[in-house]
């Protein structure tokens, strides 16, 4: 505010762009790179924006919708040194890494891996997804993560199903407050929820809880064999929940992952085109899925082939270009890839608005 008059929005925009220039630069580079790949080279294999590294298949919980507990494709974990070597290969093509699993905090070296990613390999964004049960034993994570994603499906304790998230809730809520006290800002903590028919009411409560705590709220619905549960669309309580999430995001009432359009497409199972190589999935031994994890095809290993580019090129030879799937896999990353590649400026506008 200069001499009491609000700053012109254009100036505010330029200040914002300058403040976040590494992020802005990265996105402009990706935008033009993907344009060239699609328009000139005629491929839907887009550049990796952030890599998703499964550091273990092991988990101490047993969630109903989990696709990782009995993976069709299984791979052994590498030791600490080789996993850091793998991270080095990944860092050559993207500056963003998401550690996941199974439950990544089950790895005794997870603090060393995230420390190396942030401070030795200089990843600009180091994220980790966890069920939150072991965070009190892995507190050095808070010194190296840019953001932590803790998954919650309910705020009501239910110990009838051992190894379910509701059965360990009190412990997770304690660790959530620990994370809140250790991460620089409440918005460095994201609560990730998966909507099923049984927990619509619980997700409503988690949305409010995130608003009160200042956490980022993120959600998607559970898939079965890549298929969303279409019955949810007929459920008035689900429709009301989707409406509330979109409205709060649109009115910026609380931090919510995604843009209003993206959230609607994802939760109302709208049409989108998937570009899975934007968020390539890497298994603990360095194997990379191509075209994607749900299609269960591995097209190479980063430690053997040496880059995503070579692995994707090999995948294209073996399995063809990215398939044009319809009405499946309504997950955040897939729908995000569609908006990012096909409606970049719309997404950018919605993101800063």
Query: Residue 202: how many CA atoms within 13 Å on its side-chain side?
Result: 21
Instruction: Tell me if 294 contacts ligand SF4 by CB under 6 A.
Output: yes
What residues between 231 and 250 interact with ligand SF4 by CB under 6 A?
none
Q: Which of 132, 228, 276, 280 binds ligand SF4 (CB under 6 A)?
A: 276
User: Among residues 52 and 274, whose Cβ is nearest to ligand SF4?
Assistant: 274
User: Among residues 168 and 341, whose Cβ is nearest to ligand SF4?
Assistant: 341
User: Among residues 97 and 335, whose Cβ is nearest to ligand SF4?
Assistant: 335
Q: Which of 329, 335, 336, 341 binds ligand SF4 (CB under 6 A)?
A: 329
User: Among residues 178 and 325, whose Cβ is nearest to ligand SF4?
Assistant: 325
User: Among residues 72 and 76, whose Cβ is nearest to ligand SF4?
Assistant: 72
Instruction: Tell me if 274 contacts ligand SF4 by CB under 6 A.
Output: yes
User: Among residues 169 and 329, whose Cβ is nearest to ligand SF4?
Assistant: 329
Q: Which of 45, 141, 292, 298 binds ligand SF4 (CB under 6 A)?
A: 292
Q: Whole-number minimum distance, CB 283 to ligand SF4, in Å?
A: 15
For residue 33, count other CB atoms closer than 10 A to its CB: 12
Q: Which of 121, 295, 303, 313 binds ligand SF4 (CB under 6 A)?
A: 295
User: Among residues 274 and 336, whose Cβ is nearest to ligand SF4?
Assistant: 274
Q: Which of 26, 58, 226, 244 binds ligand SF4 (CB under 6 A)?
A: 226
Q: Which of 17, 121, 223, 328 binds ligand SF4 (CB under 6 A)?
A: 328
Q: Whole-number minimum distance, CB 330 to ligand SF4, in Å?
A: 9
From the list 108-116, 150-158, 176-184, 324-332, the region that binds ligand SF4 by CB under 6 A is 324-332
Chain contacts with ligand SF4 (rule: CB under 6 A): 226, 274, 276, 291-292, 294-295, 323, 325, 328-329, 334
């Amino acid at each position: 505010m200069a001499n009491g008059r609000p700053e012109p929005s254009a100036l505010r925009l330029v200040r914002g762009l300058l403040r976040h220039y590494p992020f802005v630069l990265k996105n402009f580079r990706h935008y033009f790179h993907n344009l060239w790949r699609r328009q000139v080279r005629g491929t839907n294999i887009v550049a990796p924006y952030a890599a998703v590294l499964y550091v273990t298949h092991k988990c101490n919980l047993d969630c109903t919708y989990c696709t990782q507990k009995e993976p069709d494709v299984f791979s052994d974990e590498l030791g600490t040194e080789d996993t850091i070597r793998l991270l080095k290969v990944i860092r050559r093509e993207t500056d963003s890494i998401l550690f996941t699993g199974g439950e990544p905090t089950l790895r005794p070296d997870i603090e060393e891996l995230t420390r190396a990613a942030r401070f030795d390999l200089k990843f600009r964004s180091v994220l980790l997804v966890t069920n939150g049960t072991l965070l009190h034993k892995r507190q050095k994570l808070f010194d190296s993560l840019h953001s932590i994603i803790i998954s919650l499906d309910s705020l009501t304790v239910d110990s009838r199903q051992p190894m379910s998230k509701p059965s360990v809730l009190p412990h997770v809520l304690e660790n959530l407050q620990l994370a809140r006290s250790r991460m620089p800002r409440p918005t460095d903590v994201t609560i990730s929820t998966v909507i099923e028919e049984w927990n619509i009411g619980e997700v409503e409560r988690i949305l409010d809880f995130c608003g009160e705590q200042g956490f980022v709220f993120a959600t998607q619905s559970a898939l079965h064999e890549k298929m969303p549960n279409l019955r949810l669309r007929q459920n008035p309580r689900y429709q009301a929940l989707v409406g509330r999430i979109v409205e709060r995001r649109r009115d910026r009432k609380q931090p919510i992952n995604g843009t209003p359009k993206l959230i609607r497409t994802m939760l109302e199972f709208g049409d989108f085109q998937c570009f899975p190589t934007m968020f390539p999935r890497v298994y603990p031994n360095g194997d990379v899925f191509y075209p994607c994890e749900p299609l269960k095809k591995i097209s190479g290993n980063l430690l053997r082939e040496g880059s995503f580019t070579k692995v994707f090129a090999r995948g294209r030879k073996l399995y063809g270009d990215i398939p044009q799937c319809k009405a499946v896999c309504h997950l955040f990353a897939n729908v995000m890839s569609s908006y990012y590649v096909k409606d970049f400026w719309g997404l950018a506008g919605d993101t800063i608005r």
